Structure 1
């Protein structure tokens, strides 16, 4: 310490350092004096005086040095005393600084311990009052502050805060629960079911939530979603709350359309064939699409994108369950009257498939739900193809007798009417045809159980043509019908002509109903099955007319006698021919005329007594005319003079018999 103080003063020469200087100066003076000449005595005296002055100053310097040394000694002693006094003070100061820091830390810790209690006291009144009284903005801000404080405390993990953490957790849970209830309350205010027909008939969009409601609901949803993501529960709790309110709204809104679909399936005449568009299922689907799309817009405004699909499925599930119930009831009705109402199944498949596709393209959702709801009706649509074929065979088998006049039976027209009606539902039927494959109805492929999902292109033969497969099905139906009719009629028909007319009548109805309907471009008549039965029917009918032909058919032997004249009938001289015949030959010709007249009149009478379709009567009349008229004309030309024009044996001349043939057509 003394050293540090002395270093601040200037350095002066000591006494020991001064004396050598004086001696050196004296020596220098003596040398100078001895060398000076006598002429310079005056100068010597002056130098001597200067030396004395110098010596005097050196003396003063020596005295000053001694005083300085004494002062330095006293200063050094004082510095040691100061150091001894100040050292303990410095140490105590440093201890006080550490103590102060510790005290500040303790005060901060106390503040942190007291903070949860302060937060609870500050926010509890707001949260307990609820969002209605406190206002949504203030309530939501309070809950957020509690949530933040709780998160900070949980991260600090202080043992002293455990009770405070529990209290804040309860307070936060209460706040979140109130927000969920408030969310439901706000939502319920705009969730009363509406009348869907008003929006459908007016072509207006279904109502959506108001902008004010959407804003408030969105704030609540966004906050609770943030809370959910930061907790062990990843799902936003208002997803289920939204579905619990809006789900019943959708179900209630669509309830009347569901009931109408079931009621319009009931017919005054149970045997009437279902006509397209007479059931309410189309309006039901239209209302469902409008309501679902409006709901999807609401959801997109309230929730984050990754939540849209989940909350949309939850919300629509009740309405789709009601749709599934409706389809099950309609399906039971269809199965009870399959031959007349199978077309309703095809219509439902088409309408619901379009609805499913539209919803998937707009929202990307609900396709599996619609597929599950449609499963029963799709099963019925597929199985109906084989069942309708079997029903046709069964109805033919149950016929008691075929008509005695060979008239067609009603089952033929009913079967063709069914095929004509099926063309009106060609799109859904084509999809069914493709899914079961060509000929699938023969192996009852419709009951294979592969019906859980809506058919997609990946499940189809990409090269399959649904319309062509339907054409094949139609041809199988026609062939099965005519084959069954022939098998039923053959054992009980009264003669082959009646059987022939019966088959021709039924085949004619089939052919006519193809040509006069939209079946024509699909089946491109004449169909081989129809042509086969037409030719067979003509052959069976004309067999009996061959008996009449044999009576007037002559065999001429050209190697026996004169060759008969050829050329026109005008060149034939009946009298000359008869003149060359004997009495027995003439009697035989008379008997032939008589037998022919009897047989021909009987056949004409039976022909006119049979019930024939217009086309059948024309065809058979021409066939009989082409078979008999040339034969009779030649026979008459040769032998009509056998009764000399009295008409006793020759009942018909060529003109009169031609008139009879014309009356047959």
Structure 2
């Protein structure tokens, strides 16, 4: 066992010694390698210094060459920038000189845009050497823009040949608009000019005024015949002729204006941006509206000179223009103030006419040379009522006027003081309520003014109240009849009592004359004498002979005188009644009134005393049937 253990240990020691020798051998090789590496590093360091000393100057020169190259490139670039404006000018100038017609609009616009872009870039370089180039390109751009504006104007003018509006009105055809291809080209030019204007910050685009300068005269020229027709149709062949609704050309004028204005608005909407529509539309229409203002001023002068017969033209124009203004405003939102300004003179005349017509009624009655001595009506009554009839045809504009001045405003200066430049929309007035009520008040005021003036005029001229009563009753009856047979009836039905009182007053004045014959039929001094008082209504029970038998000769003579005086007075009044001119209704009314006053008294008197002349007719001229026949003849 001992021998085996020693052998194993020796073998292990031998193996360890062998490993140590191997490690020592490797360590020696590593030392030798490090020595060689150190030597190599020493040599490399020595060589590096030599290389650095050799390459250093060369690198410095290379950097200088790079800077020089960069500078050269910058110079070349600067030369290019200096040459570029000259190149652009020479390249684009030929196109711009040709103009849009020869070069073509698309090519021309592209060229102008390139010049504009180049000019903008050139200004940003801020090179002193480019100042001349900037000036040249500015002139070129200005020339291009002017050529575009001229082309825009030329294109517009090609589609702005005047038309005859009546052709489109009578045939109910839409008014012509700009051709689609023209609209496209005009839109391209306008878009560029607007863009350029915003870019340059030069304010509002010139295209708005340019468009209006072409289309404004077009609208005015198209409408000038309608304007002239409105004035010509107002001229009167007879000074006393009353204006009839629809006989003036203003209706056609307004229709033509509405149609052509709306077509123009559609043109504008196709060309300009939304925020420009209103401004361009107002600019374009202003000249035509100025011509309308001139026309309305001339018509207003005519109306004021013929107010009593042509005030209706003022009312008609107010309605026509109010409707036109409302229609255009609903479609475009524009022009209402312009129309209000144009209409103002006629609207003021319409307001003032209400009071002026009342004053004219007073003045015409006062200037009557005389009043008919037979109590007949005077023409002014019929004329005044005819005027009120005619006013019903213009109830809507008249109601707008009356509502604006207030109920009774025609009695003061309200019509002139309460003026407004605005056109009230006729749709805003409830004509079925306030308008009709105020008009009814005005009608009654007119009638009262007329009858009061006639009464004052007739009193000193007509001798005796009977004729005056007939005169007043006649005129009141004519007024009442003309109301009941016209469209005034529903308006004034609640106010007929105001008119009837005048007729009743006339009848009362007339009846005063008939009191005289009735006084001769009173016999109170005899009723208690002789015999029994007769029973009421029992004429057969009265014995005239018996009554007379109980009277003295003196009493009988008094009865005879009463019959005689009655006959004289009655016959005179009957003759007077028949000599007076009375309206049928008045004659019947007064005959009935006289009959009711006289016949019962006469019948009673006759029953009691007709035997006073024993049937000879010397004193008792009329029996009961005879006097009834007389009363029938009065109707």
TM-score of the aligned structures, taking structure 1 as reference length = 0.89
Q: Is the 8 A contact 2:95 2:111 kept in 1?
A: yes
Aligned to 2:411: 442
Deviations 1:194-243 (A, max 9, x none): 11111001000110011011100111111111112222332221211111
Aligned to 2:75: 106
Aligned to 1:664: 634
2:480 and 2:65 mapped to 1: Cα distance?
A: 120
Deviations 1:324-353 (A, max 9, x none): 111111111111111000000000000001
Aligned to 2:622: 652
- Equivalent of residue 580 in structure 1, options 534, 550, 556: 550
Within-5 A mapping of 1:50-89: 70-89=39-58
- Equivalent of residue 314 in structure 2, options 345, 355, 359: 345
2:402 and 2:18 mapped to 1: Cα distance?
A: 151
Judged with a 3 Å threshold, the aligned counterparts in structure 2 of structure 1 residues 314 and 144 are, in CA distance, closer, same or farther, namely same
Aligned to 1:621: 591
Unmatched segments (≥5 aa) in structure 2: 1-5, 7-12
2:304 and 2:121 mapped to 1: Cα distance?
A: 66
Aligned to 2:297: 328
- Equivalent of residue 497 in structure 1, options 454, 463, 466: 466
Judged with a 3 Å threshold, the aligned counterparts in structure 2 of structure 1 residues 463 and 273 are, in CA distance, closer, same or farther, namely closer
1:176 and 1:428 mapped to 2: Cα distance?
A: 51
Q: Which is worse superposed, 633-642 or 450-459?
A: 450-459
Q: Is the 8 A contact 2:530 2:550 kept in 1?
A: no
1:337 and 1:476 mapped to 2: Cα distance?
A: 22
Aligned to 2:580: 610
Larger Rg: 1
Deviations 1:21-67 (A, max 9, x none): xxxxxxxxxxxxxxxx9xxxxxx99x999999999999999887766
Is the aligned partner of 1:591 residue 2:585?
Answer: no
State the 1:92 CA deviation: 3.0
1:490 and 1:48 mapped to 2: Cα distance?
A: 176
Is the aligned partner of 1:312 residue 2:281?
Answer: yes
1:50 and 1:633 mapped to 2: Cα distance?
A: 189
Aligned to 2:123: 154
Deviations 1:527-556 (A, max 9, x none): 343223212211111111110111112226
- Aligned residue pair count: 626
Deviations 1:434-490 (A, max 9, x none): 111111111122222623222369999999812211111111111111111111111
1:645 aligned counterpart, secondary structure: coil
Q: Which is worse superposed, 511-520 or 385-394?
A: 511-520
Unmatched segments (≥5 aa) in structure 1: 1-36, 38-43
2:334 aligned counterpart, secondary structure: coil
Q: Is the 8 A contact 2:440 2:491 kept in 1?
A: yes
Aligned to 1:190: 159
- Equivalent of residue 631 in structure 1, options 584, 596, 601: 601
Within-5 A mapping of 1:484-563: 484-525=453-494, 527-555=496-524, 562-563=531-532
State the 1:497 CA deviation: 0.7
Q: Is the 8 A contact 1:434 1:461 kept in 2?
A: no
2:234 and 2:20 mapped to 1: Cα distance?
A: 152
Q: Which is worse superposed, 416-425 or 104-113?
A: 104-113
Q: Is the 8 A contact 1:511 1:525 kept in 2?
A: no
1:155 and 1:456 mapped to 2: Cα distance?
A: 57
Judged with a 3 Å threshold, the aligned counterparts in structure 2 of structure 1 residues 400 and 154 are, in CA distance, closer, same or farther, namely same
Is the aligned partner of 1:565 residue 2:538?
Answer: no
Q: Which is worse superposed, 76-85 or 542-551?
A: 76-85
State the 1:278 CA deviation: 0.6
2:25 and 2:601 mapped to 1: Cα distance?
A: 195
Judged with a 3 Å threshold, the aligned counterparts in structure 2 of structure 1 residues 214 and 62 are, in CA distance, closer, same or farther, namely closer
2:613 and 2:421 mapped to 1: Cα distance?
A: 85
Deviations 1:231-267 (A, max 9, x none): 2332221211111111111111111111111111112
Q: Is the 8 A contact 1:378 1:451 kept in 2?
A: no
1:266 aligned counterpart, secondary structure: coil
Q: Is the 8 A contact 1:574 1:638 kept in 2?
A: yes
Question: Root-mean-square deviation (CA), in Å?
Answer: 3.0
Aligned to 1:453: 422
Aligned to 1:471: 440
